[in-house]
């Protein structure tokens, strides 16, 4: 789903005297509507007789109609009644309070590294000083002067935003939906448990640990205080001084550095749960350090190596961007990261920056808005003048090194986790497609829906590579509702299938192809509108299935078509235009699929594409070229129709 419009930045968080409106609750969809829409959504899968017991399509449709009718009047009706009752006693909504957080995020045991966390590379600070070679002097441990200033400036930006959020200093357009999820990004940490993860229980607002951030350098952990006792952010210069103290202390610690315990957070959740529990049991000091991390505002990773040479900082080629994205995504082989933190600000010696975050607190549009705010103003070098710092601000007692107590068991665990992280990283086939031929401006001029156009191009590229169709997951935000999260847009439809088939059929005329394009876009627009107002089907079907009792069953949920329609080999999500971002991404949901995050700007379309190298049927490089070709072919088709219309 594309979110058009100008950059959010600081003007989206301006003061306002507009009265606040209450949030409506996420509605429980009509059972009849959901089942009716579900039947339509599986229609393009019913051509595959291997899924339907080799029945002809008309018979397969009739069979599923009968199943759905029985479900609606029987077990489905009972489950719907249970859901309505559950909604009445849910604090925020029936979905997030009871099902989504648990099933989508906290129950899966896969590592967060690449598989679940998102990543976002930010545009470099537009300062001439760096281009001229200033600020690249190394302070210690590979960290540069410019890096410290960039980091301190961005930390202050994120802190300023938190103050605005706390004080309701937002305009109505943003406040109505962004304030709650944005605040959930601060002082939040996911804690591994053997069977199901949890969020760390928040400590009282007076807890000093809630005024700190976690800083990592060379896989060592530090805590620095960045808010005073009244919750006011410390000055950029004071934050820079604290960071400098961290870097200098790390250099002194070089010969006696602790185990890189953060690497264990990259492991599968059950292994990390056992190892974290053992880490805490070894020492009360370890328990205190873990609590600091859990309660801290957010994490900062000072990386000591730049993935792109300094003279190439202005290089925005796909190769340079890929190197930057890979470091933001996974760090130096999974090191120097704490993957459980809600978000981590990452900086490199050459001045490149980015964010990586844990997905369960909220969805990626919110942290991208936060990042847009933090980087919207270039560094003000005068802010680092000694005259601008408060005399009361001191770093003497505000920096703490986390000297972990460890043993041979944890040493082995770190080695195992590091090996597994390396395997995950080396298997990831992750690259950016920066398509500059056209963007949303031209698509709009052609009187077409930008998001639907992009989705059809993705499906066409998939079919050209695979010679088959697949279910497509597209994210829609239910942000208009209290604690609304997401719904699925089932972008693969009967109409999109017909369009793709026509595009690869050499006998199909351009006129027929264009008619089918318009038809597919119309259907996609309708599905999107339903999803964003809480009338999607996938979250509802999930709840109904989970509310069935042990002695209840339905062929609806044992049908191979049901599961095939949720085998999202194409997992897609649109972000903003991303004018201040270099690239973004998330991992493929299936080993033989793609994870595709796209930013649709007026003059360019950028796609972060991830797949798995061991899979013989996927190739990110190959898919990029097919997607590029598909976009061009679709533009050619539309331009030809426009010319014909004027003849």
The catalytic site residues sit at: 359
Q: How far apart are CA 333 and CA 5, in angstroms?
A: 37
Match 């990773």 to its residue by tokens. 301
* DSSP calls for 202-234: PPPTT-GGGGEEEEEETTEEEEEE-B-TTSPBP
Q: Name the token pair of 81.
A: 């009644």
Q: Name the token pair of 137.
A: 């002097």
Nearest to residue 117, comparing CAs of 395, 312, 330? Answer: 330
* DSSP calls for 537-599: SHHHHHHHHHT--TT---TTTT-HHHHHTT--SEEEEE----TTEEEEE---SSTTSEEEEEE
Q: How far apart are CA 255 and CA 502, in angstroms?
A: 66
Burial of residue 21 (CB within 10 Å: 0-12, 13-18, 19+) is exposed
* Number of Cβ within a 10 Å radius of residue 241: 24
Pairing of strands 581-585, 486-490: unpaired
Q: How far apart are CA 289 and CA 261, in angstroms?
A: 12
Q: How far apart are CA 248 and CA 242, in angstroms?
A: 10
CB distance 420 to 489 below 8 Å: no
E strand or H helix at 610, and its extent?
strand 605-612
Q: How far apart are CA 351 and CA 135, in angstroms?
A: 9
Q: Name the token pair of 305.
A: 């190596």
Q: How far apart are CA 264 and CA 94, in angstroms?
A: 34
**∠ at Cα 227 (226, 233), nearest 5°?**
90
């Amino acid at each position: 789903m594309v979110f058009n419009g100008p950059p959010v930045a600081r003007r989206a968080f301006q003061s306002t005297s507009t009265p606040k409106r209450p949030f409506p609750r996420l509605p429980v969809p009509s059972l009849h509507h959901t089942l009716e829409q579900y039947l339509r959504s599986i229609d393009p899968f019913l051509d595959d007789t291997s899924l339907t017991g080799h029945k002809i399509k008309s018979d397969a449709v009739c069979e599923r109609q009968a199943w759905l009718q029985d479900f609606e009047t029987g077990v489905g009706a009972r489950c719907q009644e249970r859901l309505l009752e559950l909604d009445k006693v849910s604090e925020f909504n029936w979905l997030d309070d009871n099902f989504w957080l648990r099933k989508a995020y906290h129950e899966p045991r896969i590592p967060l590294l690449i598989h679940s966390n998102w990543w976002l590379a930010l545009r470099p600070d537009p300062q001439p000083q760096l281009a001229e070679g200033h600020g690249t002097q190394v302070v210690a441990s590979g960290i540069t002067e410019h890096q410290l200033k960039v980091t301190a400036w961005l930390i202050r930006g994120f802190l300023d935003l938190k103050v605005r959020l706390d004080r309701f200093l937002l305009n109505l357009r943003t406040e109505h939906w962004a304030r709650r999820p944005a605040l959930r990004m601060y002082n939040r940490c996911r804690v591994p448990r053997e069977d199901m993860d949890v969020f760390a229980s928040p400590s009282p607002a007076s807890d000093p640990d809630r005024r700190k951030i976690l800083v990592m350098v060379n896989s060592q952990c530090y805590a620095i205080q960045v808010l005073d006792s009244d919750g006011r952010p410390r000055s950029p210069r004071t934050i820079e001084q604290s960071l400098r103290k961290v870097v200098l202390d790390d250099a002194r610690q070089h010969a006696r550095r602790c185990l890189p315990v953060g690497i264990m957070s990259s492991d599968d959740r059950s292994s990390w749960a056992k190892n974290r529990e053992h880490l805490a049991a070894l020492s009360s000091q370890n328990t205190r350090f873990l609590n600091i991390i859990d309660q801290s505002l957010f994490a900062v990773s000072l990386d000591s190596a730049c993935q792109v040479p300094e003279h190439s900082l202005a290089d925005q080629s796909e190769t340079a961007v890929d190197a930057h994205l890979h470091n933001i995504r996974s760090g130096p082989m999974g090191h120097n990261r704490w993957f459980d933190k809600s978000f981590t600000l990452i900086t490199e010696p050459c001045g490149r920056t980015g964010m990586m975050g844990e997905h369960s607190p909220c969805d990626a549009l919110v942290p991208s808005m936060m990042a847009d705010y933090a980087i919207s103003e270039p560094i003000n070098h005068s802010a680092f003048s000694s005259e601008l710092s408060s005399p009361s601000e001191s770093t003497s007692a505000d920096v703490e090194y986390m000297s972990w107590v460890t043993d041979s068991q944890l040493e082995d665990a770190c080695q195992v986790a590091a090996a597994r992280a390396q395997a995950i990283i080396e298997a990831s086939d992750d690259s950016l497609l920066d398509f500059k031929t056209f963007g949303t401006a031209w698509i709009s001029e052609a009187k077409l829906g930008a998001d639907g156009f992009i989705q059809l191009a993705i499906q066409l590229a998939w079919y050209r590579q695979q010679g088959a169709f697949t279910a497509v997951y597209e994210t829609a935000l239910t942000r208009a509702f209290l604690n609304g999260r997401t719904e699925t847009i089932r972008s693969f439809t009967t109409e999109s299938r017909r369009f793709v088939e026509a595009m690869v059929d050499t006998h199909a005329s351009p006129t027929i192809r264009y008619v089918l394009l318009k038809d597919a876009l119309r259907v996609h627009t309708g599905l999107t509108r339903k999803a964003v107002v809480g009338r999607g089907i996938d979250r509802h079907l999930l709840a109904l299935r989970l509310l069935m009792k042990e002695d209840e069953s339905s062929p609806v949920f044992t049908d191979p078509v049901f599961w095939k329609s949720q085998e999202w080999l194409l997992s897609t999500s649109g972000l903003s235009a991303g004018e201040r971002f270099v690239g973004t991404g998330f991992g493929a949901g299936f080993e033989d699929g793609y994870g595709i995050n796209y930013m649709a700007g007026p003059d360019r379309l950028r796609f972060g594409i991830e797949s798995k190298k061991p899979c013989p049927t996927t190739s990110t490089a190959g898919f990029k070229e097919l997607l590029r070709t598909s976009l061009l072919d679709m533009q050619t088709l539309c331009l030809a129709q426009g010319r014909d219309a004027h003849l």
